[in-house]
Amino acid sequence: MGRDVVQGAFSREDRVRYRQKVRRCLDVFALMLDDFGFDADRPMTGLEIELNLVDSAAEPAMRNEEILADIADPLFQTELGQFNLELNAEPRLIEGAGFANYEHDLRSSLSRAEERAAKSDVKIVLVGILPTLTEGHLVEDNLSTNERYRVLNDQIVGARGEDIELDIRGVEQLRTHTDSIAPEAACTSLQFHLQVAPDSFADYWNASQAIAGVQVAVGANSPFLYGRQLWAETRIALFEQATDTRPDELKAQGVRPRVWFGERWITSIFDLFEENVRYFPPLLPICEDEDPVEVLHAGGVPKLGELRLHNGTVYRWNRPVYDIMNGRPHLRVENRVLPAGPTVVDMLANAAFYFGLARGLAEADRPIWSQLTFSSAEENFHAAARRGLDAVLHWPGVGDVPVTKLVLEQLLPTAAAGLDGFGVVPEQRDRLLGIIEQRCRTGRNGAVWQTEAVWAAEHHRGMDRDAALHHMVQRYAELQRSNEPVHTWPVD
């Protein structure tokens, strides 16, 4: 939800009017899908990276407003916590040297931001969950000052009607309560956007769902929360629980969670928007002046503001997006499963793997979703979040298989073919997919490096857990700036 919100209290009339307007938008969207000209000639891509700010002691620095003012770059924005920023890369094609251009631009933007932040003795860390966060950091007072975050917090906590329970059981166990959505600020992600045509959207979304578990296993980078080692990608469990509007009784009734994997393969993007309207009450019932029916009949492009706002408060791991650029509407898959970091080149390797694999499977003669049950895809997703590169996933034709073997023997060639379909130059294709290959061969991604580095600090340097985590984050921040892929990082 990237728009400003100034209203804090909503009346019954607001909610009724908003619900009617959302349904009106949905009807117009259905008409547009039938015969409107969506922009899909040359599929653009996009990246969003959420960042952590830390001080010289590797503690979270609650100073995003100050740092953002110093950076003075519209590509950087606030995020939920005062120790967060978000970097939005300029959308582009990945054909030719598109990935090299991404790398140059991202490194340049981060370098400029780091120079400005350093004047305030602050560093930028790209990681799925900042390991030095404590419960004392993740409180309502440390939400960003933008009013939209406060309103969203009030609506989620109000809908639940009681404290939010966090219960994550991994290598160690965490069980605690929170009275706000502030713990969700710990989840700093890497998000990919892929523009697709209306008639192929379902194929790309289904493919993205099918490979979500593989992505998480290979890219996991969030093993610690509140000083405990939990899942390889703890961010998945934390995000699902920290924004859950359902008390136990609604969970028992099977009410869908707002952070949602979904429950079925789709045949159209309309399926997803229709489910959002049918299953989820509005959190932010804010109406705009536009009448989408009148705009459509006048030959214009409806903004569908209420539908888009509602869609932004349903946190699908692969989210459908309707947007307008240069006066033309388009559709995107927003892939939200991965953590930030460890380096720019690691994130671009994850991007190449996702874009290539999604295309390779979406355009395959026999769709993967005709062979894999949806429940198996969801089970793969959570198994991968728990165990990372040690996960065993279920895959058509091979049954239960170690994820590293699956990637090396089947999925990397498919991803390479998909990147060829986008027109990516072979040098970039091989360099980035080679990083994914080496993670699988060495058994080391960001989560593995973090846990090994903490173990080494505890056992070789005699540090307690808290000191080991701070030491690891300091070392992580140094190595991150080298832009060498994480599988090559020394542990001790």
What pLDDT, on a 0 to 100 scale, did the predictor assign at position 87? 98
pLDDT tens-place string over residues 390-400:
999 999 999 99
- Confidence bin at 10 (pLDDT 50/70/90): confident
Mean pLDDT across the chain, nearest whole number?
95
Number of Cβ atoms within 10 Å of the Cβ of 416 = 20
Q: Which residue has the tokens 């560093």?
A: 123
Q: Whole-angstrom Cα distance, residue 380 to residue 216?
A: 10
pLDDT tens-place string over residues 295-332:
999 999 999 999 999 999 999 999 999 999 989 999 99
Nearest residue to 394 (alpha-carbon basis) of 418, 375, 416:
375
Run of H or E residues at 45: strand 45-54
CB 218 within 8 A of CB 407: yes
What's the pTM?
A: 0.96
Q: Which of 99-108, 241-250, 262-271 has the lowest mean pLDDT?
A: 241-250
- Confidence bin at 4 (pLDDT 50/70/90): very low
What pLDDT, on a 0 to 100 scale, did the predictor assign at position 331? 97
Tokens at 56, concatenated: 């010289």
What pLDDT, on a 0 to 100 scale, did the predictor assign at position 147? 87
CB 98 within 8 A of CB 46: no
Q: Whole-angstrom Cα distance, residue 247 to residue 249?
A: 6
Whether the link from the prior residue into 342 is cis, omega within 30° of 0, is yes
What pLDDT, on a 0 to 100 scale, did the predictor assign at position 3? 47
Interaxial angle between packed helices 344-362 and 98-118, expressed in degrees from 0 to 180 and rounded to the nearest 10: 150
